[in-house]
A = this chain, B = another copy of it.
Amino acid sequence: MKDMLGRDRVMTAEKALALLLETIGCRRTKTVAVDIERSLGMVCAEDVLAAENIPAFARSTVDGYAVRAEETFGATESMPAYLNLTGEILMGEQASDIAAEHTAFKIPTGGMLPADADAAVMFEHVQVIDDRLIEVMKPVAPGENVVQPGEDVATGEVIVKAGSRLRPQDIGACAGIGVREIRVFERPVVSIISTGDEIVPAERTPGMGEIRDTNSYVIAGMVSAAGGIPRKMGIYRDDYRVLRNAVEDALKESDAIAVSGGTSVGAKDMIARIIDDIGNPGILFHGLSLKPGKPMIGGVIQGVPIFGLPGHPAAVSVCFGIFVRPVLNLLSGLEDRPAYRLKGVVRARLSQNISSAAGREEHIRAMIEEREDGLWAVPILGKSGLIRTLVKADGTFVVPVNRNGIEKGEFIDITVF
């Protein structure tokens, strides 16, 4: 079977896409600085570095008492460690030092540890004698129940990588390090040219032989959903001069061009001829081993990708997903990560044993790795107070309420963020 360019073998969709991406090469949309609150879904254009530590000071992760860990060593319920209660640390206030030996400060979760303290004891393990004395009934290790300065984000660390699609937690992490503006790739502008002598605008009542435009609405919606900006240019007659002018107009202000075809062979051939006549390089493929979508046309004109989409709505939808969306991702600088290709729920094997207390549902953050033998979920363990674990993760999986854990190699379902 020959394709419409007279080649011996009709190309597969996979090869056609590879050829298209290779021809586009390193072309990207411009970059622009935007307020982080307007950056959701855009692609980060340069690494965001932390200019400071998060947290800037040691914080308690529990409601309890700030102590020197060594002064609790060996404590039990029957032989507790006695500590003098020196005062209370309030949220948002600088802690004073622990002055004397064998003293403790009451501290809330998130409170700043006094300089001499190195751990926090939970309320549950303390017996309060009176407002000046407590009994600690369980020892803590140095650093226990404490987030160290820079433990979440250390100065100089990359907090959001160039090429990432900005998610809510990435924006939160930027806010956390005081970054209010971020450089992103502009959303690619896709000009949409409708062709077909039978097509009338949606607002007009079609005469006999005419039908209303649907495809330009479908394409515009898919462009928006893919993070691009649709630019509907209107409906053009199947006339070489008229169509060529429309394509040349579109070239000036577009990152990509989608021509919503005429369904007939004649109309298709005209689009293909125009792409090749303007050239540089022109048509890359015309006709694929794909259903629906056999008459799909792909080309590049002066660096700008152009798609001759089939006339049938179902074919438009399929071909958009196979060709246009990946090209828009490339143009907007999106890094090629499995999590960006695989949305929703992804099945992967667990890279290590995970234990969990039965009786509660545990949600664990994980990265998705593409290895030779398939997808693996690498759990990101760490205190849930850390924004970093959320930024590094591609999604979460659940250890159900009735299980004690999941074994390495078991298949799990990760919900991608």
Interface residues of A, Cβ cutoff 8 Å to B: 1, 10, 12-13, 36-37, 40-41, 54-57, 59, 63, 90-95, 108-112, 167-169, 171-178, 180, 196-199, 202-203, 205-215, 217-222, 224-225, 238, 262-267, 289-294, 311-315, 317-318, 321, 342-347, 356-357, 359-363, 365, 383-387, 389-390, 396, 401, 415-417
In the complex, chain B residues whose CB is within 8 Å of the CB of A384: 291-292, 312-315
In the complex, chain B residues whose CB is within 8 Å of the CB of A415: 321
Kindly state the separation between the CA atoms of A347 and B344 in the bound complex, as whole angstroms.
11
8 Å CB contact of A168 from B94, B217, B343, B363: B217
In the complex, chain B residues whose CB is within 8 Å of the CB of A1: 359
| Interface contact B175-A211, CB-CB below 8 Å | no
Question: What are 29 of the A-B contact pairs (CB < 8 Å)?
Answer: A36-B202, A37-B217, A37-B220, A57-B208, A63-B265, A63-B266, A90-B197, A108-B265, A110-B196, A110-B264, A111-B264, A112-B209, A168-B218, A168-B220, A168-B224, A171-B218, A172-B221, A172-B313, A174-B217, A180-B202, A180-B203, A289-B361, A291-B360, A291-B384, A293-B363, A312-B383, A317-B396, A318-B396, A342-B344
| Interface contact A317-B169, CB-CB below 8 Å | yes
Q: Lowest 6 A-B CB distances belong to which pairs? A: A344-B344, A168-B221, A108-B264, A343-B344, A92-B198, A292-B384
If A291-B360, A361-B289, A390-B313 touch, does A92 touch B344 (CB 8 Å cutoff)?
Answer: no
| Interface contact A94-B360, CB-CB below 8 Å | no
Kindly state the separation between the CA atoms of A36 and B196 in the bound complex, as whole angstroms.
22
Whole-angstrom distance between the Cβ of A53 and the nearest chain B Cβ: 11
In the complex, chain B residues whose CB is within 8 Å of the CB of A219: 168
| Interface contact A221-B171, CB-CB below 8 Å | yes
In the complex, chain B residues whose CB is within 8 Å of the CB of A267: 91, 108
Kindly state the separation between the CA atoms of A267 and B195 in the bound complex, as whole angstroms.
62
8 Å CB contact of A390 from B224, B317, B342: B317
Whole-angstrom distance between the Cβ of A128 and the nearest chain B Cβ: 15
If A110-B263, A209-B93, A345-B342 touch, does A168 touch B225 (CB 8 Å cutoff)?
Answer: yes
In the complex, chain B residues whose CB is within 8 Å of the CB of A110: 196, 198, 211, 262-264, 311
- The residue on B at minimum CB distance from A318 is B363
Kindly state the separation between the CA atoms of A116 and B92 in the bound complex, as whole angstroms.
85
* Number of copies of this protein chain within its complex: 2
Kindly state the separation between the CA atoms of A219 and B90 in the bound complex, as whole angstroms.
26
In the complex, chain B residues whose CB is within 8 Å of the CB of A176: 202, 211-214
8 Å CB contact of A289 from B264, B401, B417: B401
Kindly state the separation between the CA atoms of A206 and B94 in the bound complex, as whole angstroms.
11
| Interface contact A362-B291, CB-CB below 8 Å | yes
In the complex, chain B residues whose CB is within 8 Å of the CB of A344: 342-346, 416
Kindly state the separation between the CA atoms of A293 and B344 in the bound complex, as whole angstroms.
22
If A196-B110, A212-B177 touch, does A263 touch B385 (CB 8 Å cutoff)?
Answer: yes
Kindly state the separation between the CA atoms of A384 and B357 in the bound complex, as whole angstroms.
51
Kindly state the separation between the CA atoms of A168 and B315 in the bound complex, as whole angstroms.
14
Whole-angstrom distance between the Cβ of A193 and the nearest chain B Cβ: 16
Whole-angstrom distance between the Cβ of A17 and the nearest chain B Cβ: 12
Most chain B CB inside 10 Å of its own CB: which residue of A94, A208, A263: A263
If A63-B265, A315-B384, A417-B317 touch, does A91 touch B289 (CB 8 Å cutoff)?
Answer: no
In the complex, chain B residues whose CB is within 8 Å of the CB of A401: 12, 289
| Interface contact B211-A54, CB-CB below 8 Å | yes
| Interface contact A217-B63, CB-CB below 8 Å | no
In the complex, chain B residues whose CB is within 8 Å of the CB of A108: 263-267
Kindly state the separation between the CA atoms of A321 and B167 in the bound complex, as whole angstroms.
14
In the complex, chain B residues whose CB is within 8 Å of the CB of A385: 263, 311-314
- The residue on B at minimum CB distance from A315 is B384
In the complex, chain B residues whose CB is within 8 Å of the CB of A225: 40-41, 167-168
